[in-house]
Amino acid sequence: MYFNKRRMARKLDKTIDAITRSLKRESKTSLSRSMPFPDRWDPFFAPTMTLNDVYAYPTKHFDFHAHQLSLDRPHR
């Protein structure tokens, strides 16, 4: 299975919609909680990350792979 432009964009849209719904339910206090992360596992991980950082991670991850695939960024 591979991801062409259409499949990648559809997957990105569904994921961002799910993250947005979940993020809207979080409080400022919960978003500021942090914990250690294994920063060697991924270039977007930091030694300590807040929940807000974790919510931002999928977008950074998708952007990285979209760039690898030479995809245009979705217009929002």
**Domain residue ranges in the chain:** 5-68
Q: pLDDT tens-digit profile of 1-54?
A: 677 888 888 988 998 899 889 999 999 999 999 999 998 988 889 999 999 999
Rounded-to-integer distance, Cα 28 and Cα 53, Å: 13
Q: What is the pLDDT of residue 68?
A: 78
The Cβ of residue 12 has, within 10 Å, a number of other Cβ atoms equal to 20
The answer to whether 23 touches 30, Cβ cutoff 8 Å, is no
Task: Please give the pLDDT value at position 12.
Answer: 80
Read off the pTM. Answer: 0.63
For position 52, what pLDDT does the model report?
Answer: 94
User: Distance from CA of residue 45 to its chain's centroid?
Assistant: 11
